Amino acid sequence: PGSSVWGWCFDQWHLSAILNNVFFFLSVFHFSQRFTTVVPESCMLILLGLVLGGVVLITSKKQPYQLDPGLFFLFLLPTIVGDAGYFMPARLFFDNLGPILMYAVVGTLWNAFCTGFCLFGMKAAGVIVEAGLMEFLLFGALISAVDPVAVLAVFEEVHVNETLFIIVFGESLLNDAVTVVLYKVYISFVEVGPGNVQTADYFKGIASFLVVSIGGTLVGLVFAGILAFVTRFTKKVRIIEPLFVFLLVYLAYLTAELFSLSAILSMTFCGIGCNKYVEANISQKSRTTVKYTMKTLASIAETIIFIFLGISAVDKSKWAWDTGLVSCTLIFIFVFRAMGVVMQTWVLNRFRLIPLDRIDQVVMSYGGLRGAVAFALVVLLDGEHVKAKDYFVATTIVVVFFTVMFQGLTIKPLVKWLKVPRSTNRKPTINEEIHERAFDHILAAVEDIAGLNGYHHWRDKWEQFDKNYLSKLLMRKSVYRKSELWEAYQKINIRDAISVIDQGGNVLTSARLSLPSMASRTSFPEVTNVTNYLRENGSGVCLDLQVIDTVPGAKMEVESETHHFLAGNLYKPRRRYHSHYSRHFMTTGDQERQEREVFQRNMRSRLENFKSTRYKRYKKDRSQKKRRGSDVKEQEANDKPRRNVSWQDKVVPLESEEEKGEHTEPEKEEDVGITFVARKAPETPKERPKSVPAALEVCQSPSVFPPSPTSAEKNLPWKGGLGTLPVCVSMEATKIIPIDLQQAWNQSISSLESLSSPPVPAEPQHPRVSALSRLGGPARIHSATVPVTGLGSAGSTDTSQGSGQFQFPAGGGGGGGEEEERPLSLQQQEMQPLMSLVRPPPPPPPPPPQGAARRRNPCVYLRSLVAAPPPGSEPHSRRPTQL
Amino acid sequence: MGSRGSTLSKIPNVDKLMQETGFSQAHIIRLHDRFRALDNDEKGYLCPQDFEAIKELAMNPIGDRIIGAFFAQGPQQETVDFNSFVKVLAHFRPTDKNRPKESTSPDPINSRTNKLKFAFQLYDQDKDGKISRDELLQVLRAMLEMQVTEEQLESITDRTIQESDTDRDNAISFEEFRKSLDKVNIEHKMSIRFLR
């Protein structure tokens, strides 16, 4: 016994490993599209199952696995049916409910009886195995039902038109009631013995059919109502919304099963019934969760079913072969299916608006696939009463394999050859949505006028009822107010937005960067549309898109936009991080990571600028005390939430800084944070092609900035060590701004107006700064060293800083020419010559060449910000352009 | 209902009507019965009040427009006689697949184009051949009732026009209308199965 247990364990392990492999293979299949287009997945799975079964059989001599009916009916089938029911296109389903019911009930009965009686006739002729009439009828009943799993598996790959699909698929779902009843009735007949069956029992059978089908449907609808009602109140517990959906839909199945009603019917109608309300009630995320979980579970179940079908077929002990029975069954089910379809269609076409033509009938006959349900039912048979069970099992397996593999394999070429209209996977446009609704109203009205109580009439009535009572009861108030058309409109817009971002991601960003140029706007009408819509909804998504719509006329607007853009892009991740509830915090998505990357890059380059400028500053005046004080401030700022400071505010302080920077050095400390933000303003405008005039205006502002870098030095040396962690720095920096602003605020307003004529001293420094920015790489290296020096000499004097600077040039060996300049610039006295060089131009009317040069500078900044160029890459050649 | 012969004989120009509309005798008789049922005072024609008496129609958001469509067909605007009544309804007769081949020259009244035209004129109330923004807005407002806000309505309208408006005149011409519904099975969606 121990060994058998061991073997069992081994086999279990073996099997799970095998299944793993299977799923892996499956994914491979899906990747190789050419393969799957020819061979349906279900065929592949069955073949795979056969191979696996063979392997297991060879190794263990005995087939330990087969498709266990209990497992199948309790777990595998409901997942598939639940998925099918929940995502059933309700409108299409009810539009074709008549034919579906007809095929499901009449067709299945016809198939079952004809197959059963004819097999019995063949037995009488002596061609096939010995069995009673009841047994043949029983077999006919279970073999005649079209199988939802097989139909779904095959038809999903064939893509026939929706009407055809819904008819075949709907039939396969709804015939469950017939199959269940027939199966149970016959079983009881067989058990009782054919002789003891009284006529009353037949009527009981009919009555039980009604009970089973209608009861099953009702159970499903009741659960649909419960589910819809429950989801009305799950606003606070979004996380378990999907759970409710799964549980209650499954519960509908189990309950129906419990009362021996049609479980499939119950589940199907539960899905169909609740879908509209549940989808409206639950959140978007829950919707996605429900969708993908259901789909995943269903495809897993499908895979397992087909694999196990293959494996079970290998088990020789379970079945007995009878050529007569197998061939007769194959022929009969095919012939009777075709006959049944043709006859029923003939009847139906008399009532149908769009008749089902010959081709449709061929596909429908050919699409009558049998599957796992039949197999599970036949395995469930009691061998005691049904003597021919083994023969039936073998026949069922053959039938299932034949229909799924042969017909499944050939139906695609057939459909192609017959030119069956295919389904288009197109989403309706808003026009179509609107007009089709109008059509519905028109048709209902015309039916009323013509005095026909037709389909549209009743549908209209139902919709009135639904709107007035059901929806009110089952939907949240907030949702109820929304109309479906509005929902459709939203969906379409979101889809557009996604597609725009998907394919035009680059375009969008470039458009965003070239904000002033509204020409780009015309080429993307949808963008504006989307933004309009988003803005109306006030959804968070619109932040960036909105920027596109604002037309920046003046420099300030440009800057404010830039600010929005930067604020939106740069600081969002941090905020988002905080908003996450830790349990659901997942790894940052690509988007976020990307944003962070960009952010980090920007910050790094910016930092490098600061550091380099810092050095100069050091020499001038810097005591550690001041630095520490600034540190403290920064820390305080860290604790404070980030404030939104409009761009203008930031600009203003800069100017004030300038003045201060020149005259009073100690005050500069506070200005530090502002400086780097202010610099950005000139940079971003540069990127925009059309904004050249704006850029010209801005040009002068760069001249304003130089002092600020100097002030930045104070803070930055301390930060230098942190330079590798740009994010932290950025946060600090941003937080510092407000504080600075408070102090600088008063002085700033007046200075704002003086933008056009910036203070003279500011300009000279500017070229230097840009040059330093080029040497970003070395600067960074230096930055690491700087803090050390700063810390080492507690009372850091000018000399100590000077030494730091000397190291700097050594580090950046690449830009020799600039290094020469640097040492000069670093010393306070050295500033003078540069200033003298530049000074002449600065006054209000700047000569053109200089203006151009200034314009250039921001470009350099920009490049350093955006592209984060390698440290040594910038050659001296740049220098001439700047100067 | 009366016997078939007697009813048919009461209707003027039956043969011509049947030829034009494609309705069978049974259809015509049935519609005639309906016509007489609607015609309360045996006047031999219908006036708007007769239509408004249909209570389901009162519930229909665009019911008044459809009533209007009946009176827009003939030269005389005030009344609808049986012939024009049938002709309007004939728009909704299902298109039979075999027929178009024979009679391509006189576009049958239930052709795709005519069905679309009928729908189009429901929007185009001022009959200038274009669905203007206001006209579309009105229809939408009627169809959506109180469920959406005015801004939402407007954004839907704008979007709709933007989507189908190829010549950018901020209105939907019939050609644009048809194009926007190119992929829709109009023959199916604008047809009613008339009982025989």
SS (H, E, C) A661-721: HHHCCCCHHHHHHHHHHHHHHHHHHHHCCCCHHHHHHHHHHHHHCCHHHHHHHHHHHHHHH
In B, which residues are within 8 Å of A441 by CB distance?
Answer: 60-63, 66, 143
Classified as helix, coil or strand, A525 is helix
Q: Is the pTM of this model over 0.80?
A: no
Cβ pair A489:B156 closer than 8 A: yes
**Residue pair B4/B25 in contact by the 8 Å Cβ criterion:** yes
Instruction: Quote the pLDDT of residue A267.
Output: 93
Instruction: Quote the pLDDT of residue A558.
Output: 66
* Shortest Cα distance, chain B CAs vs residue A452, angstroms: 7
**DSSP letter assigned to residue A514:** T
Instruction: Quote the pLDDT of residue A190.
Output: 82
Q: CA neighbours within 13 Å on the CB side: how many for A863?
A: 16
Instruction: Quote the pLDDT of residue A862.
Output: 45
Instruction: Quote the pLDDT of residue A647.
Output: 46
Scanning every residue of chain B, which has its alpha carbon at the shortest distance from the alpha carbon of A424?
B183
CA angle, corner A724, sides to A721 and A725, nearest 5? 100
CA distance B92 to B115: 7
Instruction: Quote the pLDDT of residue A12.
Output: 60
Is the alpha carbon torsion for B145, B147, B149, B152 positive or negative? negative
Question: What are the CA-CA distances from residue A98 to residues A276, A444, A783 (Å)?
Answer: 22, 19, 80
Cβ pair B144:A450 closer than 8 A: no
In B, which residues are within 8 Å of A437 by CB distance?
Answer: 143
Scanning every residue of chain A, which has its alpha carbon at the shortest distance from the alpha carbon of B144?
A483
Comparing CB atoms, the residue among A432, A452, A485 nearest residue B195 is A452
pLDDT tens-digit map of A334-387 = 999 999 999 999 998 888 777 888 888 998 999 888 988 888 888 888 878 888
Q: Provide the chain B residues 79-98 that lie in CB contact (below 8 A) with chain A.
A: 89, 92, 94
Cβ pair A460:B162 closer than 8 A: no
**Which one of 3.90.1150.10, 3.40.50.360, 1.20.950.20, 1.10.238.10 gives the CATH number of domain B13-93?**
1.10.238.10
Q: What is the band of A4 on the pLDDT scale with cuts at 50, 70, 90? A: very low
pLDDT tens-digit map of A398-416 = 999 998 888 888 888 888 8
Alpha helices in A322-407 (DSSP H): 323-349, 358-366, 372-380, 389-401
Cβ pair A436:B57 closer than 8 A: no
Scanning every residue of chain A, which has its alpha carbon at the shortest distance from the alpha carbon of B161?
A431
Instruction: Quote the pLDDT of residue A677.
Output: 42
Q: Which two tokens stand for residue A393?
A: 């099992």
Mutation for testing the B interface, residue in A350, A434, A463 having most B CBs under 10 Å: A434
Cβ pair A436:B184 closer than 8 A: yes
Comparing CB atoms, the residue among B38, B60, B191 nearest residue A445 is B60
* Shortest Cα distance, chain B CAs vs residue A482, angstroms: 6
Classified as helix, coil or strand, B128 is coil
Is A538 an 8 Å CB contact of chain B? no
Cβ pair A439:B62 closer than 8 A: no
Instruction: Quote the pLDDT of residue B173.
Output: 86
- A774 pLDDT exceeds 90? no
Scanning every residue of chain B, which has its alpha carbon at the shortest distance from the alpha carbon of A532?
B155
Cβ pair A481:B147 closer than 8 A: yes
Question: What are the CA-CA distances from residue A192 to residues A89, A186, A196, A204 (Å)?
Answer: 43, 10, 6, 15
CA distance A270 to A467: 19
A408-411 long-range contacts, CB within 8 A, separation 24+ = A408/A40, A408/A42, A408/A43, A408/A150, A408/A153, A408/A154, A408/A369, A409/A39, A409/A40, A409/A43, A411/A154, A411/A158, A411/A363, A411/A366, A411/A367
3-state secondary structure A131-150: CCHHHHHHHHHHHHCCCHHH
Amino acid identity at A675: T
Q: Which of A205-219, A454-468, A516-530 has the lowest mean pLDDT?
A: A516-530
The whole-number average pLDDT for the span A577-599 is 55
In B, which residues are within 8 Å of A444 by CB distance?
Answer: 56, 60
In B, which residues are within 8 Å of A460 by CB distance?
Answer: 56, 59-60
Q: How far is CA A796 from the centre of its chain?
A: 56
For residue B91, what are the contacts with CB-CB under 8 A and spacing of at least 6?
B109, B110, B114, B115, B118, B190
- A96, with CB counted inside 10 A (0-12, 13-18, 19+), is buried
- A778 pLDDT exceeds 70? no
Is A421 an 8 Å CB contact of chain B? no
Interface A–B counts its CB contacts (< 8 A) at 144
Q: CA neighbours within 13 Å on the CB side: how many for B52?
A: 7
Cβ pair A456:B192 closer than 8 A: yes
In B, which residues are within 8 Å of A430 by CB distance?
Answer: 156, 159-160, 163
**DSSP letter assigned to residue B172:** E
pLDDT tens-digit map of A443-494 = 888 888 877 777 788 888 888 888 888 888 888 877 776 667 777 777 777 8
Cβ pair A437:B56 closer than 8 A: no
pLDDT tens-digit map of A668-679 = 444 444 434 444
For residue A150, what are the contacts with CB-CB under 8 A and spacing of at least 6?
A42, A172, A369, A370, A371, A372, A400, A403, A404, A408
Q: Spell A557-595 as b/e; 16+ CB within 10 A means b.
A: bbbbbbbbbbbebbbbbbeeeeeeeeeeeeeeeeeeeeb
Comparing CB atoms, the residue among A424, A441, A525 nearest residue B162 is A525
Q: What class is the B111-191 domain?
A: mainly alpha
In A, which residues are within 8 Å of B89 by CB distance?
Answer: 446, 449-450
* Shortest Cα distance, chain A CAs vs residue B74, angstroms: 18
Cβ pair A449:B89 closer than 8 A: yes
CA distance A333 to A336: 5
Instruction: Quote the pLDDT of residue B195.
Output: 58
Q: Which two tokens stand for residue A815?
A: 């830009």
Q: Which two tokens stand for residue B98?
A: 């075999």
pLDDT tens-digit map of A720-764 = 344 434 433 344 444 444 444 444 444 544 454 444 444 444 444
The whole-number average pLDDT for the span A544-559 is 51
Q: Provide the chain B residues 1-30 that lie in CB contact (below 8 A) with chain A.
A: none
In B, which residues are within 8 Å of A458 by CB distance?
Answer: none
Q: What is the band of A100 on the pLDDT scale with cuts at 50, 70, 90? A: very high
Q: What is the band of A682 on the pLDDT scale with cuts at 50, 70, 90? A: very low
Q: Which of A268-277, A560-569, A714-723, B30-39 has the lowest mean pLDDT?
A: A714-723
Q: At what angle do helices A77-86 and A162-192 cross, to 10 degrees?
A: 140
- A122 pLDDT exceeds 80? yes
CA angle, corner A580, sides to A578 and A585, nearest 5? 125
Measured in Å, how far apart are chain A's first and last C-alpha atoms?
93
Cβ pair B159:A529 closer than 8 A: yes
Cβ pair B89:A481 closer than 8 A: no
Q: Spell A284-310 as b/e; 16+ CB within 10 A means b.
A: eebbebbeebbeebbbbbbbbbbbbbb
Domains B13-93 and B111-191 share a fold: yes
Scanning every residue of chain B, which has its alpha carbon at the shortest distance from the alpha carbon of A490?
B156
Cβ pair B189:A486 closer than 8 A: no
CA distance A759 to A755: 9
Q: Which two tokens stand for residue A753?
A: 């107006």
Cβ pair A353:B89 closer than 8 A: no
In B, which residues are within 8 Å of A536 by CB distance?
Answer: 151-152, 155
Q: Which of A52-56, A488-492, A688-692 has the lowest mean pLDDT?
A: A688-692
Instruction: Quote the pLDDT of residue A218.
Output: 94
> In the beta sheet, which residues pair with residue B130?
B173
Rounded percentage of chain A residues whose pLDDT exceeds 70: 53
Instruction: Quote the pLDDT of residue A340.
Output: 93
Comparing CB atoms, the residue among A351, A352, A485 nearest residue B144 is A485
Q: Provide the chain B residues 113-172 that lie in CB contact (below 8 A) with chain A.
A: 118-119, 122-123, 139-140, 143-144, 147-148, 151-152, 155-156, 158-160, 162-164
CA angle, corner A715, sides to A710 and A720, nearest 5? 105
In A, which residues are within 8 Å of B92 by CB distance?
Answer: 443, 446
Instruction: Quote the pLDDT of residue A313.
Output: 83
Scanning every residue of chain B, which has its alpha carbon at the shortest distance from the alpha carbon of A482?
B147
In A, which residues are within 8 Å of B119 by CB distance?
Answer: 435, 438-439, 442
- A523 pLDDT exceeds 70? no
* Shortest Cα distance, chain B CAs vs residue A486, angstroms: 7
Most confident of A37-46, A209-218, A862-871: A209-218
In B, which residues are within 8 Å of A434 by CB distance?
Answer: 140, 143, 156, 160
Max intra-chain CA distance, chain B: 58
* Shortest Cα distance, chain B CAs vs residue A422, angstroms: 13
Is the alpha carbon torsion for B177, B179, B182, B183 positive or negative? negative
- A225 pLDDT exceeds 90? yes
Delimit the domains of chain B by residue range: 13-93, 111-191
Is A489 an 8 Å CB contact of chain B? yes
Residue reference for tokens 């002030």: A711
Given a cut of 70, the residues of chain B with pLDDT beneath it are 1-12, 73-77, 96-107, 145-147, 195-196
Q: What is the band of A776 on the pLDDT scale with cuts at 50, 70, 90? A: very low
Scanning every residue of chain A, which has its alpha carbon at the shortest distance from the alpha carbon of B55?
A448
3-state secondary structure A46-107: HHHHHHHHHHHHHHHCCCCCCCCHHHHHHHHHHHHHHHHHHCCCHHHHHHCHHHHHHHHHHH
Following CA atoms A560, A565, A571, A577 in sequence, which dihedral angle do they give, to the nearest 10 degrees?
130
Is B190 an 8 Å CB contact of chain A? yes
Mutation for testing the B interface, residue in A96, A446, A482 having most B CBs under 10 Å: A446
- A315 pLDDT exceeds 80? no
For residue A613, what are the contacts with CB-CB under 8 A and spacing of at least 6?
A709, A710, A712, A713, A716, A768, A769, A772
Who wins on pLDDT, A510 or A426?
A426
Most confident of A118-122, A504-508, A844-848: A118-122
Cβ pair A489:B159 closer than 8 A: yes
Q: Phi then psi for B80, rounded to 5 degrees?
A: -125, 120
